[in-house]
Amino acid sequence: MPWEKSFDIDDATDRAMRVFWAKGYEATSLSDLVEGMGINKGSLYNAFGSKRALFDRAILKYDRENRQAALEDIIKIDDPTQAVRTLFDGLIAESIADMDRKGCLLVNTALDLPNHEGDIKEVVTSAFGDFEKFFAKLVRRGQELGQVSKDINPEAKAKALLTLVVGLRVLARGAFEPSDLYAIRDEALSVFGKS
């Protein structure tokens, strides 16, 4: 008798994403996934193939629903200074509300890239590359509006702004107080002559 799926794949992926996010890829066992997803081991293998394939699917879902969705909304803000403020304020609010101090699944995975295969590295570097393009676009827009010096290289400044995002996400896991996170935001805003 052929295997028949008795659960929603998207919901199961979402549950797996939460397990990976809380524990990290390496520390997540099959037992953790089975318990967290509410399915048995056979169903996990039949539906997803392997822990690695499930993680691939989970991190892509996380990226799509978190980073991509947020940037799509923020890029619509005409004022680049307000766009950067909105982004950082959102990250800080999310970090403060995160009682489990999970941080960002993409950043957490980036910190563990030596333990991942090429496909995961590609997902993370592509996500960070998109973030850089987003920031470079905001810097160029700021230059057009006279908010940012024409002497600033948009691509180089975009890398610096991405570094501030990654640093904020790492430090928000417990190393810094909220006031310190706002100082990181203010540093990002200083590119646009504001804080």
* HSE (side-chain half, CA atoms, 13 Å) at 69: 8
Structure tokens at 182: 């706002």
User: What pLDDT score was predicted for residue 181?
Assistant: 92
Instruction: Give the burial class of 92: count Cβ atoms within 10 A of its Cβ; 0-12 exposed, 13-18 middle, 19 or more buried.
Output: middle
Give residue 59's pLDDT: 93
Q: Rounded to whole angstroms, how far apart are CA atoms 184 and 85?
A: 11
| Full pLDDT tens readout for the chain, 195 residues | 444 456 788 899 999 999 999 998 888 999 999 999 988 888 888 889 889 999 999 999 999 998 898 899 999 999 999 999 999 999 999 999 988 888 899 999 998 888 777 788 899 999 999 999 999 999 999 999 999 999 999 999 999 999 999 999 999 888 778 888 999 999 999 988 754
Closest CA to 84 of 141, 43, 38: 141
Spatial CB neighbours of 81, under 8 Å, sequence gap ≥ 6: 142, 147, 189, 192, 193, 194
The reported pTM is 0.87
Domains of the chain, each with CATH number or no CATH? 60-190 (1.10.357.10)
Which residue reads 């039949």 in tokens? 46
Residues 83, 71: contact at Cβ < 8 Å? Answer: no
Alpha-carbon distance 119 to 106, whole Å? 13
Cβ-Cβ contacts under 8 Å for 50 (sequence gap 6 or more): none
Tokens of 170: 């790492």
Q: Residue 78 — φ and ψ, nearest 5°?
A: -65, -40
Quickly tell me which residue has 């056979």 as its tokens: 42
